Amino acid sequence: MTDSQNNPFGTMPEPPAAPDPAQAEQQAQAAAGQTYEAAQGAYDPCQGSATGATQQPYGYGAQQPCGQQPYQATYEQPQPAYQQVYAQPVAAAAPTALYPMTDTDRNLRLVAFIFCVLSLVGSCWLIVPLAWMIPMTVICWGIYKGTKANTVAFGVCTLIFCSLVAGILLLCSNKDR
């Protein structure tokens, strides 16, 4: 018996050799290029449409100048609607008077504050009255500056608990509320 008789697979043909990877890649690219060109038809960018194609309604197949895209987006920065002005930072201003007053009112309130301070200093040896005299003197300063309202209730409390003269002057001054 010969080798071909002992080997049941001896009569089978040889398998084909593996293709070269570089050649396979070139063949794939060539096939892809041919299918792309076939899909495009004989498109001429200067003509604006494929050969043999009919003109589309509403300007879809309108001719464009050669080399120009049908839509070119322009990317510009939006212009602000206002012009930013650079200046030196403004220093925090002193609080303005919320309660307007005349010169007479200002003078009456200043004298009332001075009497509140004098009564505070005169009674500093008494510890307990300082608990309400110090806050009342601070509020009296706010009334003089115009940041606090001059009320009848505060004038009466100043008259009773702080200074008789200061309370009378606050009651004589124009009331803010």
Each residue of 41-83: pLDDT tens digit? 555 555 554 544 455 555 555 555 555 555 555 666 666 666 6
Q: Is residue 41 part of a domain?
A: no
Q: Is residue 115 part of a domain?
A: yes
Give the Cα separation of 106 and 115 in Å (integer): 14
Give the Cα separation of 71 and 77 in Å (integer): 19
Pull the structure tokens for residue 87: 């200046």
Q: Is residue 70 part of a domain?
A: no
Q: Is residue 127 part of a domain?
A: yes
Q: Domain range holding 141?
A: 103-172
Sign of CA dihedral 7, 11, 15, 17: positive
Give the Cα separation of 115 and 8 in Å (integer): 131
Number of domains in the chain: 1
Predicted model pTM:
0.46
pLDDT at residue 27, as a whole number: 72
Give the 3-state secondary structure percentages of the chain, helix then strand then coil, rounded to 5: 45, 0, 50
